[in-house]
Structure 1
Amino acid sequence: MFFVLLFSQFAISPSSASAAEDNLGLKAEAAMIIDAKSGKILYEKNADKVLGIASMSKMMTEYIVLEAIHDKKISWDQKVKISEYVHKLSKAPNLSNVGLTQGEDYTVKELYSAMAIYSGNAATIALAELLAGSEKNFVQLMNKKAKELGLQKFKFVNSTGLNNKDLLGNYPAGDPNEENVMTARDMGTLAFRLLKDYPEVLEFSSVSRLKFRDGKEYPNFNWMLPGLIYEYQGVDGLKTGSTDFAGYAHTGTVMRNGQRYITVVMKSTSKGERFEDSIKLMDYAFATFDKQRIISKGYQAKGKKSLPVTKGKEDSVEIKTNKSIELVIPNGEKGSYKPIVVIDKSKLNKDGELTAPIKKGEKIGYITVQPKEGKDYGFIAGVGNDGVKADLIASESVEKANWFVLSMRAVGGFFGDLWNNAASAVKGWF
């Protein structure tokens, strides 16, 4: 259990972020900006509206494949034999695919590259069949994993993001004309976890062109990558998607000077528009926000620099933070954040005292920060404020006093109480 103390040590300054956000002029139906390190949400538009996600669905397939490789259930060099269905789908007109030959073996890495770089649908299903025996079983894994990752409003009916009607009569779940759906918030959460848990995803998503064994070269649909139409400095992922139902979508990630952002754009009306909106989001992020140190290592909160100690050689102990707290916030607004001290109640007696012995560095509680005013979007699901939290620790050890000292204190306390009572009684006579 913990109890919370708020200290308004920092000055208050009005937030300008919300006013700026109203001027972005996005055409997409939903959008988000997330700090890729902490999971802090910096901007959102219709973030909880359920929309089609099209081939951005493949980010969940990518996550599950990378997890299986990490857990050594499969390997990059493992061979995958192409089934008749996967072969036929790879030749279907108007679908994004690399050519896959029936009965031929392809490595997991080849298929994963086709999926992540060129959004290969047949390659995606080949991986789904490898991991779960069938795409139907794999879709169950997708929905289960989505819950584990903290996604809230979603439904996967296939591994690719295609409309079920395009799967040659082999749709694994849902209705014949159904598609995968999700919110921008959930898509941002998925992107955050993909980057955090398996950063090697960028080794694939950052590739502008795929050279495949069929002898062809396939451009990445993420046109913001180097050498492509909407090239944007620092972009190295993540995934696009488009269907009639979903419109045009883009989950991007960009890194400059050590700062990485995740952007989500959903339900745009054209290929170019989704990237134009992504550029607006990225420009806004770099122009508006900056990582700043809100609290330094060794910080002591005003009015709570120490806690009383009972049964110790000293009657108090100083507490301080074990690390600094850094947060991506609007420029010039460092002074608008207040520290929040949270003490571990289980370490205190009924009088609010710590009991000796106490070891130097022992965790007593933690400190976090929050804005005094202005719009605060919080964090993505499953992150909370862990990214902006520092432990409060004892600055020095406090040894337990020996029995003689404790006895003398007890005697002193007894006579002190006796004297105070007597003094009070005498005072009452006059």
Structure 2
Amino acid sequence: MFTKKTLFKTTSCFLIMTCFLLGSFTQKSYAEEDLMDFAEKSGFPVKENYRPKASIVIDADSGQILWEDQPDLSWSPASIAKVMTMYLALEAMEQGKFNLDTTVTATEKYVDISQLYALSNNKISLGVDYPVRDLFSMVAVPSSNVATLMLANLVSDNDEAGFIRKMNEKAAELGMTNTTYFNCSGAQISAFDGLYQAEGIDPNGDNKSTARDLAILTYNLLKKYPDVLQFTSKPVVTTMENTPYAETFETYNYSLPGAKYGYDGVDGLKTGSSPTGGFNYIATAKKGDIRLIEVVLGVGDWSDQEGEYERHLAGNAILDHAFSTYEYKKLLSKGSNKINKKEINLEQDFYGFVKKDTQPSFKLVDGQLSLTNNYGQVSPNIPVHSVRYQESTSPADDKPSAKHEKKNSSAPSKTNKTEYNYLVSAILAILGLLLLVFSRVFRKRIAGVRRGSRKMATPTTRFLFILGALLLLSAIGVLLFL
């Protein structure tokens, strides 16, 4: 004899099996697909041998991670290391040590470095004064190693080892826990043929970082020094304009609008490539009020220069995925709200990043409401966006009305649950009846084949009959629990 418990178990097993079967035929949501899937859909297909080794995309305002893949993989950032050099130069300017019009005079050492064929560079002429604003453009666009060293030495008063120590100190301060710098430009000190000296620093040391750490660096850079984008947003730049030393450079950031793989909204930031790091890329893009930061590391192999272009297909696909999957909107209004079964009063409207067509969930901790996010913050040093709340308290004479409101507010959900149970019960009953009918039909067919024999049950007909009966009982079980 079937008990309620047995019926409940039978119903549950059937529903689980049904969900599993339906799930196997249901296409994954856009937000749940991996890079190779959503890259194809976005129109920026990524070949398997150019899949990034690590990548991440975050909201530039809150530091919320929107998507990631191997974000803590240790990797050589190559010329992306120059972003930290620019950060420290901008910080020195903020401290009043120099400004964009300050000049650095080209010495023989700088001229010799500019002529090293193995390093990315630009022309430097002996005795010429190079303004800091032009050095920034030389660092950001042609990724000039000599301009990077000139800028670093300006910051550190020519203490090359001291500047590298500043880089590591700043990394630690920003929470870049898996980053170590051995040089200011991404090129090993030993590659400078003795022209770059940093006492106490391993000349063969290769900078190491992660996608997460580089996203943290870029987040802080854009928060504190957003004007850096003036040096990274153009596909073509000319330095030392209106002088005999003018040079024009095309960007390596092929995702900038107007470049080979232009993506709407991209306005920086830095590319990097090396034998140990492959092809890397930091990008930032803005659409409407939303600005994103992405980091892509380890695309392709240094021996295959196609990686220089393919990193931008991956980068564009990741940006497109984030812009298409998420939206920033008002989630809760100021005043009374019911969150996690608590009546609370918010001090102000609450906005946040959520996946489209989903219901957000919230956390209430120590009087602060925040959004629950599967990926979390890019760094524990970057606090999650929150708004203060107070739990609602009602006077004694208001309690009956409060209970009445609570009852009314919960009524729709109960009604929905009841309607859902009726639907499930009806489906189970129909399936059960169909199986019972099929079992009878099969018995008749068997009797027809065996001429003159009476209707006999077979293993198949017994199975159909038992399964049909179980489905009918399950339907009854669902109704019993209404």
**Which TM bucket (shorter chain)?**
0.7 to 0.9
Give me the whole-angstrom Cα distance separating, in 1, the residues matched to 2:264 and 2:86: 24
CA positional deviation for 1:179: 1.9
In the alignment, which of 292, 296, 301 is matched to residue 261 of structure 1?
292
- Per-residue deviation, residues 60-89 of structure 1 (Å, max 9, x unmatched): 111111111112121111121223222211
Q: Give the 3-state SS of the residue equivalent to 1:182 in structure 2.
A: coil
1:17/1:330 contact within 8 Å kept = no
- Per-residue deviation, residues 121-141 of structure 1 (Å, max 9, x unmatched): 101101111111222111110
TM-score between both structures, scaled by the size of structure 1? 0.75
Q: Give the aligned partner of residue 5 of structure 2.
A: none
Q: Give the 3-state SS of the residue equivalent to 1:118 in structure 2.
A: coil
1:158/1:171 contact within 8 Å kept = no
Query: 5 Å matches for 1:298-309?
Result: 298-301=335-338, 304-305=342-343
Percent of residue pairs identical:
32
Do the aligned partners of residues 119 and 338 (structure 1) sit closer, same or farther apart at CA in structure 2, a change above 3 Å counting?
A: same
Q: Give the aligned partner of residue 76 of structure 2.
A: 52
Query: 5 Å matches for 1:15-94?
Result: 16=29, 19-21=32-34, 23-24=37-38, 27-94=51-118
In the alignment, which of 376, 379, 400 is matched to residue 377 of structure 2?
379
Q: Give the aligned partner of residue 131 of structure 1.
A: 155
Q: Give the aligned partner of residue 214 of structure 2.
A: 187
Q: Give the aligned partner of residue 218 of structure 1.
A: 249
Give me the whole-angstrom Cα distance separating, in 2, the residues matched to 1:37 and 1:180: 28
Q: Give the aligned partner of residue 282 of structure 1.
A: 319
Q: Give the aligned partner of residue 357 of structure 1.
A: none
Q: Give the aligned partner of residue 371 of structure 2.
A: 369
In the alignment, which of 338, 353, 368 is matched to residue 328 of structure 1?
353
Do the aligned partners of residues 394 and 284 (structure 1) sit closer, same or farther apart at CA in structure 2, a change above 3 Å counting?
A: closer
Q: Give the aligned partner of residue 263 of structure 2.
A: 232
2:268/2:284 contact within 8 Å kept = yes
Q: Give the 3-state SS of the residue equivalent to 2:310 in structure 1.
A: helix
- Per-residue deviation, residues 14-58 of structure 1 (Å, max 9, x unmatched): x94663236346601111111111111111111111000011011
Q: Give the aligned partner of residue 465 of structure 2.
A: none
CA positional deviation for 1:236: 0.3
Do the aligned partners of residues 21 and 383 (structure 1) sit closer, same or farther apart at CA in structure 2, a change above 3 Å counting?
A: farther
1:124/1:160 contact within 8 Å kept = yes
1:82/1:102 contact within 8 Å kept = yes
Give me the whole-angstrom Cα distance separating, in 1, the residues matched to 2:29 and 2:258: 35
Do the aligned partners of residues 84 and 136 (structure 1) sit closer, same or farther apart at CA in structure 2, a change above 3 Å counting?
A: farther
1:251/1:265 contact within 8 Å kept = yes
In the alignment, which of 239, 246, 250 is matched to residue 281 of structure 2?
250
Whichever residue aligns with residue 147 of structure 1, its letter is A
Give me the whole-angstrom Cα distance separating, in 1, the residues matched to 2:95 and 2:323: 36
CA positional deviation for 1:382: 4.0
- Count of aligned pairs: 343
Q: Give the aligned partner of residue 392 of structure 1.
A: 389
CA positional deviation for 1:104: 2.3
CA positional deviation for 1:294: 2.2
CA positional deviation for 1:304: 4.2
1:55/1:162 contact within 8 Å kept = yes
- Per-residue deviation, residues 314-340 of structure 1 (Å, max 9, x unmatched): xxxxx621222222221111x2x3333
Give the structure, 1 or 2, with the largest relative contact order (CA under 8 Å, sep 6 or more).
1
Query: Where is the helix percentage greater, Structure 1 or Structure 2?
Result: 2
- Per-residue deviation, residues 196-232 of structure 1 (Å, max 9, x unmatched): 1111111111022221232321111111112211111
Do the aligned partners of residues 71 and 176 (structure 1) sit closer, same or farther apart at CA in structure 2, a change above 3 Å counting?
A: closer
1:289/1:331 contact within 8 Å kept = yes
CA RMSD in angstroms, aligned pairs only:
2.4
Q: Which runs of 5+ in 1 are unaligned?
A: 1-14, 306-318, 344-364, 397-430
Give me the whole-angstrom Cα distance separating, in 1, the residues matched to 2:139 and 2:329: 38
Whichever residue aligns with residue 162 of structure 1, its letter is A
2:182/2:188 contact within 8 Å kept = no
Q: Which runs of 5+ in 2 are unaligned?
A: 1-27, 40-45, 301-306, 394-482
Q: Give the 3-state SS of the residue equivalent to 2:120 in structure 1.
A: coil
Alignment partner of 1:118 is 2:139: no
- Per-residue deviation, residues 74-131 of structure 1 (Å, max 9, x unmatched): 1111121223222211121142222122332211111112112221110110111111
Give me the whole-angstrom Cα distance separating, in 1, the residues matched to 2:63 and 2:149: 30
Q: Give the 3-state SS of the residue equivalent to 1:51 in structure 2.
A: coil
Alignment partner of 1:273 is 2:315: no
Give me the whole-angstrom Cα distance separating, in 1, the residues matched to 2:283 and 2:369: 32
Do the aligned partners of residues 207 and 161 (structure 1) sit closer, same or farther apart at CA in structure 2, a change above 3 Å counting?
A: same
Alignment partner of 1:142 is 2:142: no
Whichever residue aligns with residue 96 of structure 2, its letter is K
TM-score between both structures, scaled by the size of structure 2? 0.67
Whichever residue aligns with residue 161 of structure 1, its letter is G
Do the aligned partners of residues 171 and 241 (structure 1) sit closer, same or farther apart at CA in structure 2, a change above 3 Å counting?
A: farther
